[in-house]
């Protein structure tokens, strides 16, 4: 399998090359040269397959010969050692809980898969790889946890100061060893811009091997399709048309779900639900893509003003808005609407949604207004406890803090404060 740059299809790489480089030399995102649907038999009998078997069958065509099957199976087993339950909330509305992993966010899957792949590719290599990553909240913690102690790999995480939750900050600033946190005086978009600038800077790349652990990297992005298949396996017996609603920031997660659909997963429609950072809902209405400065919200991990992966979604649908609208809807919600949804579901059912999940719920309900007989699954992308302040203020309850989170709470934050790209560059050149 080869991957080509979305800027120029003549620029190609193997899976291994794409993972090690992160993005193509012309700074385009890599995209698989083909997506071969899995056999109808796979979907007919999916209930009889384990999650590990499903994941292997789904990802093997993309990894191809770059990782032997036995090693790939081991990587999958290391990545997926927790549950992905679909929990019914209301009639025809369920949530896919993606927060049972070590950092309690969906990013654990992609981060662990990528860390394992990079660890495998780095064996016997003498040059160390530096993983640069920008986070608006959840990616940072998952990457820190996934890459901790991986030989030959150093990680530098950029996060916007004061714009991630306290628990998210602890998760990405307290591990030490090969993990370093850069606290940026700016927004997530500034962090993402600095990361991209470093990739373009030959003074850095001439003496450092850089890669990205954001979902622009194919090894971070593609494994996110696993849990859409796990959800389908659980929801199939409902006998209804399935809709996924995905709280969306950088759009890698929903894009992976749409790849699962291209693999043949029978899904009626996808919904990309956003907070007021609504570049994509605007695009879906007007057909014009206009990035905007990100706005801080209570669903901070989605505070993205120029989502990296939307270009992949457009490409999946031949850049044709009309065709894309047949498969994807996108809606935006305010913080006030998000809190109201959290309160409503908590008072009616006792279920505690996190603010991101609540945006996903709202997106699903909006779609179901015109498609009432569908079975909708919204993604709970992170555990509500990661947004303790918002949950306490909105619901007046303090959820129990799970062991994974307790572990980091007592640790001391260590970050390097930076205000501009030059400071990041000096750090990378000196370390
Ligand atoms: N929502 C993200 C932003 C980065 O997204 P990614 O999936 O491209 O890593 C976060 O939580 O950091």
* Top-confidence residue, 284 or 126: 284
Interval between CA 155 and ligand 1 midpoint (Å): 15
**CA 388 – CA 403 distance, rounded (Å):** 15
Q: How far apart are CA 222 and CA 109, in angstroms?
A: 10
pLDDT at residue number 124? 85
Question: Range of 318's domain?
Answer: 83-105+221-400
Region 73-88 average pLDDT: 98
Give the chain's domain count.
1
Q: Which of 140, 212, 214 to mutate to test the pocket of ligand 1 (most atoms within 8 A of CB)?
A: 214
Q: Which atom of ligand 1 is nearest the CA belonging to 138? A: 11
For residue range 171-192, what is the model confidence (pLDDT) as tens digits?
A: 999 999 999 999 999 999 999 9
Specify the ligand 1 atom closest to the Cα of 221. 7
Both tokens of residue 383? 């555990």
Angle between helices 335-349 and 388-395 (to 10 degrees): 70
Atom of ligand 1 nearest to the CA of 308: 8
Task: List Cβ neighbours of 103 (8 Å cut-off, separation of 6 or more).
Answer: 138, 141, 142, 144, 145, 171, 404
| Structure token pair of residue 399 | 């959820």
Band (256; pLDDT cuts 50, 70, 90): very high
- Per-residue pLDDT tens over the stretch 327-364: 999 999 999 999 999 999 999 999 999 999 999 999 99
Would 342 be classed as within a structural domain?
A: yes
The answer to whether residue 261 is domain-embedded is yes
Question: Ligand 1 site: residues with CB under 6 angstroms?
Answer: 135-140, 214-215, 249-250, 252, 301, 308
In a domain? residue 24:
no
Instruction: Tell whether 383 is covered by a domain.
Output: yes
Q: Is a pLDDT exceeding 90 seen at residue 168?
A: yes
Do 369 and 93 form a contact (C-beta atoms < 8 A)? Answer: no
Nearest CA to ligand 1 atom 1: 301
Q: Nearest CA to 27 among 394, 272, 220, 311? A: 311
Q: What is the pLDDT of residue 328?
A: 98
Question: Which residue's alpha carbon is at the smallest distance from atom 12 of ligand 1?
Answer: 135
Quote the ligand 1 centre to 272 CA distance (angstroms).
Answer: 15
Q: Domain holding 247: CATH number?
A: 3.40.50.1100
Q: Is residue 142 part of a domain?
A: no
CA of 88 to the centre of ligand 1 (A): 27
245, 361 in Cβ contact below 8 A? yes
pLDDT of residue 44: 97
Q: Which of 23, 98, 138, 159 has the most ligand 1 atoms within 8 A of CB, as the residue to mutate?
A: 138
Whether residue 145 lies inside any domain: the answer is no
Residue 55 inside a domain? The answer is no
pLDDT tens for 258-304 read 999 999 999 999 999 999 999 999 999 999 999 999 999 999 999 99
Q: What is the number of the ligand 1 atom nearest to the C-alpha of 140?
A: 12
| Per-residue b or e along 79-103, where b marks 16 or more CB atoms closer than 10 Å to that residue's CB | bbeeebebeebeebbbbbbbbebbb
Average pLDDT, the chain: 97
Buried b vs exposed e over 157-195: b needs ≥16 C-beta within 10 Å? bbbbbebbbebbbbbbbbbeebbbbbbbebbbbbbbbbb
What confidence category does residue 126 fall into, taking pLDDT thresholds of 50, 70 and 90? confident
Q: Rounded to an integer, what is the distance from CA 337 to the centroid of its chain? A: 23
pLDDT above 90 for 125: no
Q: Is 13 helix (H, G, I), strand (E, B) or coil?
A: strand
Which residues are known to be catalytic? 107
Q: Rounded to the nearest whole angstrom, what is the distance from the C-alpha of residue 80 to the centroid of ligand 1? A: 20
Instruction: Report the interhelical angle of 188-200 vs 421-430 (nearest 10°).
Output: 50
303 occurs within a structural domain: yes
- pTM equals 0.97
* pLDDT at residue 46 is higher than 90: yes
Q: Exposed, middle or buried, 339 (CB in 10 Å: 0-12/13-18/19+)?
A: middle
> Among all chains, which residue has been given the structure tokens 């209570």?
298
304 Cα–ligand 1 center, Å: 9
Tokens of 175: 């591990």
């Amino acid at each position: 399998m080869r991957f080509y740059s979305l800027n120029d299809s003549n620029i190609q790489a193997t899976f291994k090359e794409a993972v090690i480089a992160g993005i193509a030399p012309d700074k385009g995102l890599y995209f698989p040269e083909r997506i071969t649907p899995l056999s109808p038999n796979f979907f007919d009998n999916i209930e009889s397959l384990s999650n590990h078997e499903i994941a292997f069958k789904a990802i093997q065509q993309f990894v191809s010969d770059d990782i032997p099957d036995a090693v790939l199976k081991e990587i999958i087993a290391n990545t997926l050692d927790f549950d992905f339950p679909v929990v019914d909330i209301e009639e025809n509305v369920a949530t896919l809980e993606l927060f049972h992993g070590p950092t309690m966010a969906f990013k654990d899957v992609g981060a662990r898969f990528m860390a394992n792949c990079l660890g495998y590719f780095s064996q016997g290599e003498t040059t160390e790889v530096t993983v640069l990553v920008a986070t608006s909240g959840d990616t940072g913690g998952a990457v820190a946890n996934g890459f901790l102690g991986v030989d030959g790999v150093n990680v530098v995480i950029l996060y916007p100061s004061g714009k991630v939750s306290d628990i998210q900050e602890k998760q990405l600033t307290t591990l030490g060893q090969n993990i370093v946190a850069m606290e940026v005086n700016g927004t997530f978009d500034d962090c993402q811009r600095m990361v991209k600038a470093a990739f373009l800077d030959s003074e850095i790349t001439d003496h450092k091997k850089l890669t990205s652990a954001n979902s622009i990297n194919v090894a971070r992005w593609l494994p996110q399709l696993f849990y859409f298949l796990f959800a389908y396996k659980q929801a199939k017996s409902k006998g209804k048309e399935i809709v996924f609603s995905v709280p969306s920031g950088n759009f890698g997660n929903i894009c992976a779900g749409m790849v699962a659909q291209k693999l043949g997963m029978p899904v009626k429609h996808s919904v990309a639900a956003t907070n007021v950072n609504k570049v994509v809902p605007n695009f879906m209405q007007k057909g014009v893509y206009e990035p905007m400065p990100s706005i801080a919200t209570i669903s901070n991990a989605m505070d993205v003003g120029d989502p990296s992966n939307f270009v992949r979604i457009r490409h999946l649908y031949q850049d044709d808005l009309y065709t894309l609208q047949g498969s994807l809807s996108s809606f935006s919600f305010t913080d006030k609407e998000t809190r109201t949804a959290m309160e409503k579901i908590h008072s009616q059912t006792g279920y505690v949604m996190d603010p991101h999940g609540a945006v996903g719920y709202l997106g699903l309900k909006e779609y179901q207004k015109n498609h009432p007989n569908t079975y909708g699954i919204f993604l709970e992308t992170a555990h509500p406890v990661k947004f303790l302040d918002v949950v306490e203020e909105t619901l007046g309850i303090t959820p129990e803090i799970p062991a994974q989170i307790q572990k980091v709470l007592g640790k001391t934050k260590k970050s390097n404060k930076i205000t501009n790209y030059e400071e990041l560059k000096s750090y990378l050149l000196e370390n």
